[in-house]
Structure 1
Amino acid sequence: MKLTTTLALIATVLITGCASVDMAPKADSEQAKTFKAPSAGKAGIYVYRNSSFGAALKKSLWVDGQCLGESAPHVFFYTEVDGGKTHKIDTESEFSANTLELTSEAGKHYFVRQYIKMGVFVGGAGLEQIPEEQGKADVAQLNLAKTGKCSPKQ
């Protein structure tokens, strides 16, 4: 009985509440949503979280081992990486990082959706690459978060 009650409480916390992160200025967010071409020799990566599931959870994101930031519901990040290389996008999860590898082409944008999933003790996170048109539509509804604050990588 206690285990069932504890699990129900954990599930409720994962579904309700709302994590907050530091947001970039509105002008920066609007600029990022114009989807202008990346710098010469670079590819653009948008990483976003567009679901309210697990709203109380913040999950750190890294690109090639560098902290991108902590996600919360309805936020996105944008970064540029070298084109013509394979890049690792990591998110913290319940027991270890989950990784998505992405081979980029200079001049293109890539969209990666972070999603929260149920875990044993706390919610985990996963990553999936999204087609460009869907990614643009999703990001257009979100706000840009500030980069650079991550919890320690597992």
Structure 2
Amino acid sequence: MKKITTILLIVFAFTSYKATSQVLEKPTEGKSLVYIMRSNNLGAGLNFRVYDKDKFLGALPSGAYFIYECDPGEHLFWAASENRDFVEANLEANKTYVIDLRAKMGMFIAAVGVEPYEPTNKKHVKRIKKVLRKHINANVVNADKTEEKEDNIAKAMEAYDRIKDKENSKIKKLLSNMNFENK
């Protein structure tokens, strides 16, 4: 009887663990999937505007994430707040990637830092699990509002062109091998 109780407890613990551990979704065949999330609560009242080069994806609130499916290849993801921060991405087909928008102290309002995540970084994996467990999927992809953001996009592309070739450029890279396992 004791053996059966122990086995049942182990099975229950294992199935409970699997039920609470989240898994990243898989993209449609031939596409890439990018999770864009906010893992910290600094600047909680502020939405960060998110773009894929010249395409407005949406305004991401604190405590949320969204999933963006796109064509594989070269992308320039960036976010705007008091500042603009950029990530150059090289995405492979059928792979899933994660980008975190980290709120930082700014001069007047929260600034944004765009951080590509790596599957080998234990802190990144832990944050992803927390976000998927506790945050809401904002489903904010708003490509139809890109026209309203043309001025902001033009200024951002000018800023990107100014800094991309500098020797000490702070533009981060999301490499094709930085993909996460998915279901």
Is TM-score (shorter-chain normalized) higher than 0.5? yes
Name which of 97, 120, 128 aligns with 2:115.
128
Q: Which amino acid aligns with 2:51?
A: W
2:94 paired residue number: 107
**Residue pairs, 1:45-84, within 5 angstroms:** 45-83=34-72
Q: Following the alignment from structure 1 to structure 2, what is the Cα–Cα distance between the partners of residues 120 and 70? A: 21
8 Å CA contact retained: 1:43, 1:81: yes
Structure with the greater alpha carbon radius of gyration = 2
After TM superposition, the structure 1 = structure 2 runs for residues 29-40 of structure 1, keeping only pairs within 5 Å, are: 35-40=24-29
Deviation at 1:138, TM superposition (A): 3.8
Any conservation in 2 of the 1:37–1:108 contact (CA below 8 Å)?
A: yes
The structure richer in strand per residue is: 1
User: Which of 89, 101, 118 in structure 1 is aligned with 2:77?
Assistant: 89
Aligned twin of 1:144: 137
TM-score relative to the length of structure 1 = 0.68
Identical amino acids, percent of aligned pairs: 25
- Per-residue CA shift, 1:89-126, capped at 9, x if unaligned? 1100314x211111101111000000111111222101
- How far apart, CA to CA, are the structure 2 residues paired with 1:68 and 1:104? 17
Q: Which consecutive residues of structure 2, in runs of 5 or more, have no partner in the other structure?
A: 1-21, 156-183
Inter-CA distance 139–107: structure 2 relative to 1 (3 Å threshold): farther
Q: Does the 8 Å contact 1:59/1:92 carry over to 2?
A: yes
Query: Does 34-43 or 143-152 show the bigger shift?
Result: 143-152
Q: How many angstroms apart in 1 are the aligned matches of 2:26 and 2:54?
A: 24
CA spacing shift, 1:98–1:116, aligned 2, 3 Å? same
Query: In the comparison of the two structures, how many residue pairs are matched?
Result: 120
Given that residues 93 and 126 in structure 1 are in contact (C-alpha distance below 8 angstroms), is that contact kept between their aligned partners in structure 2? no
Cα deviation for residue 36 of structure 1 reads 3.2
CA shift for structure 1 position 50: 1.6
Deviation, structure 1 residue 34:
5.0
TM-score, normalised to structure 2's length? Answer: 0.58
Shift of 1:65: 2.0
Asked whether the 8 Å contact 1:94–1:122 carries over to 2, the reply is yes
Greater displacement, 66-75 / 110-119: 66-75
Distance in 2 between the 1:124 and 1:102 partners?
21
RMSD: 2.2
Residues in 2 aligned to 1:100 and 1:68: alpha-carbon distance in whole angstroms? 15
